[in-house]
């Protein structure tokens, strides 16, 4: 079963990559996923609608964001997508004039306010540490049928090489499931980010999504240019004056 890293076809690949994304984050389920890719309602139809919406939105984001770079790993025996990765190659400080992403994937009520706040909280540690050009791994997933066969590592190898070629730091926000992969690649913890959106006046829609998602934790992780980190010696760029 050869698993090959391939460039992405933005015209044709989004429906299959969105399905693989859902199947990857459903096993095991991760509650925060609802913030980025919600299923509104229950049952198979609602899930199919959610995958279709995700495919459309991912394509739109990709088309409008020059920093966006998608990749896939394909099982060349079957043609099935085994995993995907979405990179942002930031050639400039993205936090100098941060683009606000309209949260179109939630209705314009308290649920959208919750998600807007959750997204702000999510990027807060990186907005402090990564005020310079950098490589950011936004999304990575391997389908459950293909785990522990080096799919994630193929993406990481590509990203580390790219960051070194460009002379950029490499940042990512890690789920608990991603940590072993990043630790195996020498990434350093920067900050724990326990995401609990707050408002003074939560309405029922806010409370519904809050209950569904709960507090969720990511860890901002960093790899310096060249990948060689020595505690107490390597300078963390965001700690420099």
Question: Footprint of ligand COA on this chain (CB under 6 A)?
Answer: 24-25, 83, 140-142, 147-153, 174-175, 177-178, 180-181, 184
| Residues 6 or more apart whose Cβ sits within 8 Å of residue 228 | 234
| Residues 6 or more apart whose Cβ sits within 8 Å of residue 223 | 160, 163, 169, 170, 171, 185, 186, 187, 188, 229
Question: Which is it for the CA torsion 185, 163, 141, 41, positive or negative?
Answer: positive
Minimum gap (Å) between residue 179 Cβ and ligand COA:
8
CA distance 230 to 188: 10
Minimum gap (Å) between residue 24 Cβ and ligand COA:
5
Minimum gap (Å) between residue 233 Cβ and ligand COA:
25
CA distance 70 to 58: 10
Q: Which is nearer to ligand COA, 106 or 219 (CB)?
A: 219
Asked if 84 contacts 70 with a C-beta cutoff of 8 angstroms, the reply is yes
Record the tokens describing residue 48, joined without a space: 């199919």
What does the DSSP 8-state code read for residue 133? S
Q: Which is nearer to ligand COA, 72 or 113 (CB)?
A: 72
Minimum gap (Å) between residue 186 Cβ and ligand COA:
11
Q: Which is nearer to ligand COA, 109 or 145 (CB)?
A: 145
If we measure between CA atoms, which residue out of 177, 142, 188 comes closest to residue 20?
142
If we measure between CA atoms, which residue out of 110, 75, 127, 134 comes closest to residue 199?
110
Minimum gap (Å) between residue 82 Cβ and ligand COA:
8
Minimum gap (Å) between residue 77 Cβ and ligand COA:
17
Q: Which is nearer to ligand COA, 84 or 110 (CB)?
A: 84
**Sheet with 188-195: strands ordered across:** 3-7, 68-75, 80-90, 134-142, 169-174, 216-223, 188-195
Q: Which is nearer to ligand COA, 58 or 110 (CB)?
A: 58
């Amino acid at each position: 079963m050869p698993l090959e890293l391939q460039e992405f076809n933005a015209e044709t690949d989004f429906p299959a990559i969105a399905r693989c994304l859902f199947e990857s984050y459903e096993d095991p389920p991760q509650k925060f996923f609802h913030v980025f890719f919600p299923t509104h309602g229950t049952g198979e139809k609602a899930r199919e609608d959610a995958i279709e919406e995700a495919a459309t939105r991912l394509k739109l984001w990709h088309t409008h964001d020059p920093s966006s770079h998608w990749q896939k790993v394909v099982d060349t025996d079957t043609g099935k997508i085994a995993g995907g990765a979405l990179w942002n190659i930031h050639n400039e400080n993205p936090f100098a004039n941060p683009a606000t992403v309209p949260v179109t994937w939630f209705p314009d009520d308290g649920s959208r306010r919750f998600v807007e706040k959750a997204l702000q909280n999510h990027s807060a540690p990186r907005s402090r540490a990564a005020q310079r050009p950098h490589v950011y791994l936004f999304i990575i997933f391997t389908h459950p049928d293909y785990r522990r066969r080096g799919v994630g590592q193929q993406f990481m190898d590509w990203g580390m090489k790219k960051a070194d070629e460009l002379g950029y730091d490499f940042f990512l926000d890690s789920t608990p499931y991603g940590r072993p992969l990043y630790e195996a690649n020498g990434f350093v913890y920067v900050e724990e980010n326990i995401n609990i959106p707050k408002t003074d006046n939560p309405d029922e829609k806010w409370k519904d999504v809050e209950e569904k998602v709960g507090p969720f934790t990511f860890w901002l992780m960093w790899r310096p240019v060249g990948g060689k980190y020595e505690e107490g010696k390597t300078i963390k760029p965001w700690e420099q004056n």
